[in-house]
């Protein structure tokens, strides 16, 4: 299915690895120009190089196609300077993005008794205030041009909170409440949609890190920890970044114009409720 978004410009935050990368890759494979971002320059450069090969392949697959551009900006998206660097990227569209994929690293786990104001501000900055700042920056331009797609990568913990992830539960729920209102404001009639994707367990570096930590804590092997976790998921496995990216690309498509204000939960059936 042609998603009808070739030639659009997307900003995909935190996209050198994992779920952000999956989203950016799916968009490049639809002919979308991307500005991608991460803090670590080496992994980002490597990802951009691979995307440029995919962009050239997309263009070569049919006559008349122009290869989408891939622009990489090494910066911390949770800082004002980082966001300015992304928005002022040379060759990029400035603030005139058609698609915004909000993403950043998740806050650390822990005991709520230990979190001071600084820990909360950091979590809120990364997982609530940064997405809000970027939405504020791009949304009016999208509405004026009559097309916009905003996708927030949040977490299944928004729907089913995880006790040790209180910083994430709180910050991401704040973002979810905010976008629920904005998605239903006047921008809804101007071609702009806002949706969130709530990942369950996906096989990324982040999951590998939590598996290693659990293995160390429990004395079990990493393979045993993986197997035990996957047994808890009705699908019997983790999701892949490619599967996640495909959902994101669809939400950014012309076909998804009537889906807004939704929280999509790809988790292999792990959430046990009916609603």
Residues engaged in binding ligand NAP (CB under 6 A) = 14-20, 37-40, 43, 76-78, 103-106, 153, 155-156, 199, 201-202, 204-207
Minimum CB separation from ligand NAP for residue 209, in Å?
Answer: 7
Nearer to ligand NAP, 104 or 192 (CB): 104
Minimum CB separation from ligand NAP for residue 33, in Å?
Answer: 19
Minimum CB separation from ligand NAP for residue 45, in Å?
Answer: 11
Nearer to ligand NAP, 155 or 169 (CB): 155
Nearer to ligand NAP, 39 or 159 (CB): 39
Nearer to ligand NAP, 59 or 85 (CB): 85
Minimum CB separation from ligand NAP for residue 262, in Å?
Answer: 17
Nearer to ligand NAP, 48 or 77 (CB): 77
Minimum CB separation from ligand NAP for residue 226, in Å?
Answer: 12
The three state secondary structure string of the chain is CCCCCCCCEEEECCCCCHHHHHHHHHHHCCCCEEEEEECCHHHHHHHHHHHHHHHHHHHHCCCCCCCCCEEEEECCCCCHHHHHHHHCCCCCCCCCCCEEEECCCCCCCCCHHHCCHHHHHHHHHHHHHHHHHHHHHHHHHHHHHCCEEEEEECCHHHCCCCHHHHHHHHHHHHHHHHHHHHHCCHHHHHCEEEEEECCCCECCHHHHHHHHHHHHHHCCCHHHHHHHHHHCCCCCCCECHHHHHHHHHHHCCCCCCCCCCCEECCCCCCCCCCC
């Amino acid at each position: 299915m042609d998603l009808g978004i070739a030639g659009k410009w997307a900003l995909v935050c935190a996209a050198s690895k994992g779920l952000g990368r999956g989203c950016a890759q799916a968009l490049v494979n639809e002919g979308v120009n991307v500005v991608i971002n991460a803090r670590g320059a080496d992994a980002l450069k490597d990802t951009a190089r691979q995307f440029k090969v995919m962009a050239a392949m997309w263009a070569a697959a049919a006559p008349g196609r122009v290869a989408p551009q891939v622009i990489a900006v090494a910066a911390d998206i949770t800082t004002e300077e980082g966001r300015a660097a992304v928005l002022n990227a040379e060759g990029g569209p400035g603030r005139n993005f058609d698609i915004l994929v909000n993403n950043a690293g998740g806050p650390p786990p822990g005991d709520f008794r230990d979190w001071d104001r600084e820990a909360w501000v950091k979590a809120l900055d990364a997982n609530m205030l940064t997405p809000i700042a970027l939405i504020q920056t791009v949304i009016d331009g999208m509405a004026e041009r009559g097309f916009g797609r905003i996708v927030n990568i949040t977490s299944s913990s928004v729907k089913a909170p995880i006790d040790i992830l209180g910083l994430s539960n709180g910050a991401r729920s704040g973002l979810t409440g905010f976008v629920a209102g904005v998605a239903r404001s006047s921008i809804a009639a101007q071609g702009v949609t806002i949706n969130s994707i709530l990942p369950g367990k996906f096989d990324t570096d982040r999951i590998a890190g939590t598996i290693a930590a659990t293995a160390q804590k429990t004395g079990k092997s990493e393979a045993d920890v993986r197997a035990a976790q996957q047994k808890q998921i009705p699908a019997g496995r983790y999701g892949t970044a490619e599967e996640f990216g495909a959902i994101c690309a669809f939400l950014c498509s012309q076909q998804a114009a009537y889906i807004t204000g939704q929280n999509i939960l790809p988790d292999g059936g792990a959430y046990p409720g009916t609603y």
